[in-house]
Chains A and B, each alone.
Chain A
Amino acid sequence: MPFAYQLPIFFVFIPVIFGVIIYLFKKPWITSLSFLAQITLFIAFFVYHQFWLTNPEHHLIVFGGWSERIGISFYADSLNLTFTLLSIVIFSILLLYLFQFRRKDHKFLFFFLFLEGVFLGMIQTNDLFNMFVFLELVTVIVTVLISYQKTGPSFQAGIYYLLLNTVGALFFLIGIIFLYNTFGTINILLLKDLIPLQGDRTVVQFAYIIMISGISVKAALFPLFTWLPKAHGVAQSGISALLSGLVVKGALYVFIRLNRYMYVNVPLQLSELFFWLGVVTALVGVAFAISQKDMKQILAYHTVSQVGIMMMGISQSYLTAYYGGVLHIINHALFKSLLFLAAGVLIKHYQTKKVYEVRGVMRTFPLIGIVLIVAMLSISGAPLLNGFVSKSMVKYAVKGDFIKEALFFLINLGTVTSFIKFSTVLFGPKQNLVKQKNPLQDISMILLAVGCLGIGLFYKELGQWIYGLSVTVKLWEWVNWLDYAIFLAIGLVFYHFVVKKDYKPFQFLRHFKLTFESANYLFVAYLVVVLLVVFT
């Protein structure tokens, strides 16, 4: 076996070992080793990618050389490798952003690098119980990172996140228990072949229901997303970008594995349920986002709504919509991280979080102004940028059905309106503020903006290279440009006459809080709803 065959193990252990070394030695120059870790990861990834393309029979590694049915294994296919590359890129860019502040903070870098190693492990593993262990590890480390500032509200957000996600992960474990006792193995590839043989047994279907409910808590779907805005309100901007950009996507990755790989041949008729769940999530998220006055809360509720659009894409079996959903995962990681990083810089300089108090960004911080415009255009689906590509591909799922198209139109309208509200920070006179020079932060934001533009312009070549498929979204047809202009016009009108006046419904939405007991009650109700849909 050539050495390149074992490289996925190193993806997991390089960040972990570097993290532990940074914690152990207290010299100040040790923290620059974290950059060495990222560079090593990039080199290892490209070497492995070359090896992967040429040897299709060596995609599976079993630890210890035991038989597949009883040993732990790692499996690499194109979905895995896409997520791996995405997480390595986002973690490196976040490290550039955070490094200036945290140069002397060994403990923070230890938690950060450990999280990177564990997340890469969760994406590559092929064993269900191993996935559960990594899921719990991610929960614990993200709790510590949320509470890192040690203020009162951050502890409250931390414990809310910890308890709700632990209950979800425990229900995931119950599903694993039932599957193991039915089939005698917990290897995902083997289960893919074994489950359809007994697909009509009650145990197998019940295991699916429980696992999906458990993982919906982490993926922030409709009734269970209340931890997300709380966590975003208290965490610092780099950690918010990590949470919205990667941790939620990890849960969606597990969802794709369950739905399309393990249970693909069992006729459960759940794609309609998840499509409508996605629509409701997107609408609710956008409604909350319009009513908020805090910059980071607008972005947090927006993440919920974009997760709804992703769910609309990946729950379909129609291939274009599915690839649109996966592409939206990648795009959302890029532009949402960019928005959070820019918001972080603005909050630090203006010392306030409210949208109405920040003015004149375009003249005071021209670089951040340009970057914000790029991000806002991509998230609302302007042509030439990446949001347009993924939203058009997801739109194929709704073609032909008038109600679904109308709802999709409403969701897009809400997105544009909330970002018009956000963009009021750009206008205004130049402010006199003390600027701190931080070149690494600027480089990280420019890299993300270039990524957004790149995928938007070159999606055809990238799709060919990575997935070997050819997708055309009509870019230069004037209909799409006209569509976008109409959206902008209606959004502006809606904003001026309705949102700015701050009517009673918006105030109600802004102050709406859900207690912890109600969140658990909604979890039980969600389980029962999925159960009834499957069994009737």
Chain B
Amino acid sequence: MSPILTIIVILIGLYGLATSKNIIKSVFCVTIIEAGVILLFLNLGNLEGGSIPILGNVIENIVDPIPQALMITTIVIGSTITALALMLCIKIFHNYGSVEWKEVLGREE
């Protein structure tokens, strides 16, 4: 059930990207898609159930540790891309006076 919910999150993000008229909304939608992808991977690693992958107590079965290590990297990458995109938004506002896609793309050079 939970992998399906994360897929709905990803598709909501895609819908938002294809219909948003504001640059900052598009940045939010990319963040939503990235959060959905991270949750999807973690859920698919948990299909059998188990406890956290830290040895030290007596446990029979652990969750797969590789998705968690890969997703640490993905979270860092996602946050740096969001920071870069938001700084570009600030600069676009300083230059054009608005952050709507129509006004920013419509000016000829």
A touches B in complex, CB < 8 A: yes
- Chain A residues within 8 Å of B, Cβ to Cβ: 129, 133, 136, 139-140, 143-144, 147, 150-153, 155-156, 158-160, 162-163, 166-167, 170, 173-174, 177, 180-181, 233-234, 513, 515-517, 520-521, 524
- Min distance, Cβ B73 to any Cβ of chain A, angstroms: 6
CB-based contact B44/A177 at 8 Å: yes
- Chain B residues within 8 Å of A, Cβ to Cβ: 10, 14, 17-21, 23, 26-27, 30, 33-34, 37, 40-41, 44-45, 47, 66-67, 70, 73-74, 77, 80-81, 84-85, 88-89, 91-92, 95-96, 101-102, 104-107, 109
CB-based contact A524/B14 at 8 Å: yes
CB-based contact B41/A163 at 8 Å: no
- CB contacts (< 8 Å) of A234 on chain B: these are 109
CB-based contact B109/A233 at 8 Å: yes
Counting chain A CB atoms within 10 Å of each CB, the highest count among B40, B70, B92 belongs to B70
Bound CA–CA A170/B20 (angstroms): 19
CB-based contact A513/B105 at 8 Å: yes
Besides the known contacts A152-B96, A153-B109, A515-B105, 15 further A-B residue pairs in the complex with CB atoms under 8 A apart: A136-B77, A139-B81, A160-B105, A163-B27, A163-B85, A173-B74, A174-B10, A177-B40, A515-B101, A516-B26, A516-B105, A517-B19, A520-B14, A520-B18, A524-B18
- CB contacts (< 8 Å) of B37 on chain A: these are 170, 173-174, 177
Name A155's contact: one of B73, B91, B106, B109 (CB within 8 Å): B91
Task: Please list the 9 inter-chain residue pairs (A to B) with the smallest Cβ-Cβ separation, ordered nearest first.
Answer: A152-B95, A520-B18, A159-B88, A520-B17, A521-B18, A177-B41, A155-B91, A155-B92, A181-B44
Name A162's contact: one of B21, B70, B81, B107 (CB within 8 Å): B81
Known: A152-B95, A516-B26. Is A162-B84 also a contact (CB below 8 A)? yes
Known: A140-B80, A163-B30. Is A156-B17 also a contact (CB below 8 A)? no
CB-based contact B109/A162 at 8 Å: no
Bound CA–CA A152/B88 (angstroms): 10
The residue in chain B whose Cβ has the minimal distance to the Cβ of A162 is B85
Bound CA–CA A159/B26 (angstroms): 10
- CB contacts (< 8 Å) of B80 on chain A: these are 140
- Min distance, Cβ B52 to any Cβ of chain A, angstroms: 19
The residue in chain A whose Cβ has the minimal distance to the Cβ of B41 is A177
The residue in chain B whose Cβ has the minimal distance to the Cβ of A514 is B105
- Min distance, Cβ A324 to any Cβ of chain B, angstroms: 36
CB-based contact B101/A516 at 8 Å: yes
**Using a Cβ cutoff of 8 Å, how many contacts connect chains A and B?**
95
Bound CA–CA A180/B96 (angstroms): 45
- Min distance, Cβ A211 to any Cβ of chain B, angstroms: 13
Known: A136-B77, A517-B18. Is A152-B92 also a contact (CB below 8 A)? yes
- Min distance, Cβ B103 to any Cβ of chain A, angstroms: 10
Bound CA–CA A314/B20 (angstroms): 36
- CB contacts (< 8 Å) of B34 on chain A: these are 166, 170
Bound CA–CA A517/B105 (angstroms): 12
CB-based contact B84/A143 at 8 Å: yes
Name B92's contact: one of A140, A144, A159, A174 (CB within 8 Å): A159
Bound CA–CA A156/B47 (angstroms): 43
- CB contacts (< 8 Å) of B26 on chain A: these are 163, 516
Bound CA–CA A166/B92 (angstroms): 19
- CB contacts (< 8 Å) of B91 on chain A: these are 147, 150, 155
- CB contacts (< 8 Å) of A140 on chain B: these are 80-81, 84
CB-based contact A181/B45 at 8 Å: yes
17 residue pairs of the A-B complex, CB under 8 angstroms, read: A136-B77, A144-B84, A147-B88, A150-B91, A151-B95, A158-B88, A159-B89, A159-B92, A162-B88, A163-B26, A163-B85, A167-B17, A170-B37, A173-B74, A177-B37, A177-B41, A181-B44
- CB contacts (< 8 Å) of A155 on chain B: these are 88, 91-92, 95
